Amino acid sequence: MNLVDNKYETLVKSYLDGNCPAEEALELLSWVVESEENRVYFKSQKEADEVWHLTDFAMPDDAALNIDAALDAINAKIDAQEETKTVEMPWLRRNYKYVAGIAAALVVALFLGFLVTGPSNSTVTVASNEQNIETPMLLPDGTSVTFDGEAEISYPKEFVNSTRSVNFTGVASFDVVADKEKPFVIHCDRMDVEVLGTSFLLSANAAADKYFVDLYTGRVKMTAFDGKGNVTSQLEVLPGERGVLDLAQGELKTMTYGEVKAEELKTERVLDFNNVVLSTIVDALEYVYEVDIELDEAYASEKLTARFSDQESIDEVLETIAAVFDFTLTKQDGVYLIR
């Protein structure tokens, strides 16, 4: 028996009714991905809500549905509401309430998954807003996708085939629900990314000269194609690595975190660390500056968010880190010691 806390029953109802504030929508998102039981319950409520919307909009009973008439009925009903945001789909147009401000971007993106029932092969196209904010959403299998700025993803209403395939362009973080029998495959023009269950950042902007995957957990396989759709190369990416596709060459390669940071310093003239553990930062600094650093194991899991310019020496970088954590920094026989 599926027992759901009254709090989340209320949140789901509020969410499907379009009355859920952004912070509650994000709390619900976290709850849904916690377990298979939560996802099953959420899916059942979603499907029931979809059936209700179809009857609520009084779709024609005639076997040959007059889609234009149905759309007119839908839009006439929603026109009476406050300001709306319109989402275009291959077989149906549907309006959603638009909530002003940054919270709206979060809620609208989450709501894009809740669409009325259509043909079995219909797809939903989801585009992020153009504001520079992170926009989370859930796919039908519970996979979480967080857009980083402009991005677009298309996916089926349900993953019924042997793979969970989506089309994607832009930049986003994925937290893929594990399913060994049904791999998750992302199609990005001239590159596919196949995963079983993992978390990673994917950058595949249409105008870019390179695509890349930063893998956090699990394992992914990248496949590159030429302009005719022929496979040109394949490779597996492991946690802590970046898989890169050079579109001009059609070649894939992996980069360590240190190599990524060295390239970042060369091209962008900065070193950016966003909530990164010190052990990883030290490894990167050793590679970039070609020095030896010994970090006390007691501090290895401490996390740091910082930005250093290419004008700062390794001594200045390490002195800043030591000051932030109140560490002792010394140098002995050419080796930097952090204690």
Q: CA 235, CA 56: separation in Å to the nearest integer? A: 50
For range 48-69, the mean pLDDT: 42
Q: Is pLDDT at 65 greater than 50 in this prediction?
A: no
DSSP 177: P
* Predicted confidence band of residue 163 (pLDDT cuts 50, 70, 90): very high
Mean pLDDT of the region 81-96: 32
For the whole prediction, is pTM greater than 0.75? no
Query: Which domains does the chain possess?
Result: 118-255 (2.60.120.1440), 259-338 (3.55.50.30)
Separation between Cα atoms, residue 73 and residue 71, nearest integer Å:
5
Q: What pLDDT score was predicted for residue 127?
A: 53
Can you say how many angstroms the Cα of residue 236 is from the centroid of all Cα atoms in its chain? Answer: 20
Q: What is the pLDDT of residue 198?
A: 92
Is 83 a residue whose pLDDT tops 50?
no
Assess contact for 154 and 163: CB atoms under 8 A. no
Kindly provide the residue ranges of all beta strands, DSSP E only, lying in 241-313, ordered along the sequence. Answer: 242-246, 251-255, 270-277, 292-295, 303-309
d(CA 263, CA 206): 21
Q: Distance (Å, rounded) from C-alpha 12 to C-alpha 311?
A: 52
pLDDT reading at 27 higher than 90: no
Write the CA distances from 154 to 99, 105, 158, 296, integer angstroms. Answer: 23, 18, 12, 47
Quick one: pLDDT at residue 228?
A: 87
Percent over 90 (pLDDT), the chain:
51
Collect all residues with Cβ–Cβ distance below 8 Å to 183 and sequence separation of at least 6.
Answer: 163, 164, 194, 195, 196
Q: Which pLDDT band, with edges at 50, 70 and 90, does 157 fall under?
A: confident
* pLDDT score of 132: 60
Higher-confidence residue: 245 or 100? 245
CA angle, residues 322, 328, 329, in degrees to nearest 5: 75
Sort 114 into a burial class: Cβ within 10 Å, 0-12 / 13-18 / 19+. middle
Name 138's Cβ contacts closer than 8 Å, sequence gap at least 6: 29, 32, 33, 110, 113, 144, 145
Average pLDDT estimate for 156-173: 92
Averaged confidence pLDDT in the chain: 77
Q: What is the mean pLDDT of residues 198-208?
A: 94
Place of tokens 């009973």: 61
Q: Is 60 exceeded by the pLDDT of residue 80? A: no
**Residue with more model confidence, 310 or 67:** 310
Q: What are phi and psi of 242, to 5 degrees?
A: -115, 125
Q: Is the pLDDT of residue 183 over 90?
A: yes
**How does pLDDT run across 216-267, given as a tens digit for each residue?**
999 999 999 998 889 999 999 999 999 999 999 899 999 999 999 999 999 9
